[in-house]
């Protein structure tokens, strides 16, 4: 095949004849513009190996309608031996430093082996030659004097602590029982109520909105038409709700009985025995 025209010139001539730019070829073949320019400039050494160069040349020439086989044959003739594939096979040459490193590592290994043998023989009691040529015997461990056992020191017994005298219990002052009952009735809205103090009616009818205070010596009774319409405080302490609006609520408060005091110095006299029943008959 006689053709003095280079591969790159043939590619440029056909691309310009088709009025295509390198960007147009890139869009169609997906070959980068940089690689296309290398093909047209006959820079086949731009590619990492012959496989890339042949593949790009084949795709580009087929796209332009050229004979890719003819161009590949021309590439083999013109560029034989110039673009070589990267080979990972070692060349067989060795750096002189490799021999030095290997020798140095071998000497370290031999030294370590010698030290290990020395300490191993020393542990077995083997006689090792000294620097003067004499054998140095390892002292017999059995001939060494045994240390006298140290008697353990007994800790001193702790002296018993004197028993503490029980403290006399202090009497707890009991809270004095209230002398009267005081009931605060707070109505949130007008509600029918029946309130009694020591059996006497205080309110019987509509209880207006507000606070009503009732006092008694023994007992207070309260009943309302809607249980949740009122809130209660007995002697300043809040009481539980009487219920809900769906039911009538009532409650009775009774003053606690005062404790009976025992005379100082003696117990109260026992109650006298009941008189025996009279006998019937003569």
CATH code for the domain in which residue 13 is found: 1.10.260.40
Count the neighbouring beta carbons within 10 Å of the beta carbon of residue 216.
20
Question: Is 66 in the same domain as 111?
Answer: no
Question: Is 112 in the same domain as 50?
Answer: no
- Strand order, beta sheet including 249-254: 200-207, 191-197, 219-224, 249-254
Residue 198 in domain: yes
Name the residue range of residue 12's domain: 7-78
Question: Is 74 in the same domain as 103?
Answer: no
Global pTM reads 0.32
Question: Is 58 in the same domain as 120?
Answer: no
* Structural domains in the chain (count): 3
Q: Please return the burial class of 3, using the count of CB atoms within 10 Å of its CB with bins 0-12, 13-18 and 19+.
A: exposed
Residue 156 in domain: no
State how far the Cα of 176 lies from the Cα of 235, in Å rounded to an integer.
13
Question: Is 241 in the same domain as 186?
Answer: yes
Residue 281 in domain: no
Residue 138 in domain: no
Residue 267 has a pLDDT of 46
Whether the predicted pLDDT of 131 surpasses 80: no
pLDDT above 70 covers a percentage of the chain that reads 61
Question: Is 11 in the same domain as 70?
Answer: yes
Closest CA to 74 of 1, 15, 13, 10: 1
Residue 206 in domain: yes
Only one residue has tokens 């496989």, namely 51
Residues facing residue 250 across a β-bridge: 223
DSSP three-state, residue 275: coil
Q: Please return the burial class of 53, using the count of CB atoms within 10 Å of its CB with bins 0-12, 13-18 and 19+.
A: buried
Q: Which residue has the higher pLDDT, 272 or 28?
A: 28
State how far the Cα of 196 lies from the Cα of 181, in Å rounded to an integer.
12
Residue 163 in domain: no
Q: Which residue has the higher pLDDT, 90 or 208?
A: 208
Residue 17 in domain: yes
C-alpha torsion angle, residues 32, 35, 41, 43 (rounded to 10): 170
Residue 33 in domain: yes
Question: Is 71 in the same domain as 105?
Answer: no
Mean pLDDT of the region 6-22 = 93
């Amino acid at each position: 095949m006689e053709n003095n025209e280079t591969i790159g010139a043939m590619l440029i001539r056909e691309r310009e004849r088709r009025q295509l730019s390198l960007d147009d070829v890139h869009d169609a073949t997906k070959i980068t513009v940089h690689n296309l320019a290398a093909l047209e400039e006959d820079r086949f050494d731009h590619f990492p190996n012959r496989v890339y160069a042949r593949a790009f040349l084949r795709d580009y020439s087929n796209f332009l309608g050229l004979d890719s086989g003819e161009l590949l044959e021309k590439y083999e003739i013109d560029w034989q031996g110039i673009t070589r594939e990267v080979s990972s096979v070692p060349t067989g040459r060795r750096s002189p430093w490799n021999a030095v490193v290997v020798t140095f590592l071998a000497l370290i290994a031999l030294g370590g082996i010698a030290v290990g043998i020395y300490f191993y023989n020393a542990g077995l009691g083997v006689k090792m030659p000294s620097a003067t040529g004499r054998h140095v015997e390892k002292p017999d461990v059995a001939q060494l004097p045994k240390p006298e056992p140290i008697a353990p020191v007994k800790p001193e017994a702790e002296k018993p602590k004197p028993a503490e005298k029980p403290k006399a219990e202090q009497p707890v002052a009991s809270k004095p029982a209230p002398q009267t009952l005081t009931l605060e009735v707070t109505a949130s809205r007008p509600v029918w109520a029946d309130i009694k103090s020591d059996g006497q009616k205080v309110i019987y009818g509509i209880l207006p909105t507000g606070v009503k205070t009732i006092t008694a010596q023994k007992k207070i009774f309260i009943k309302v038409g809607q249980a949740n319409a009122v809130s209660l405080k007995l002697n300043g302490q809040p009481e539980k709700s009487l219920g809900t609006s769906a039911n009538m609520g009532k409650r009775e408060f009774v003053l606690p009985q005062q404790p009976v005091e025992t005379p100082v110095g003696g117990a109260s006299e026992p109650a006298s025995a009941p008189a025996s029943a009279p006998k019937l008959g003569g």
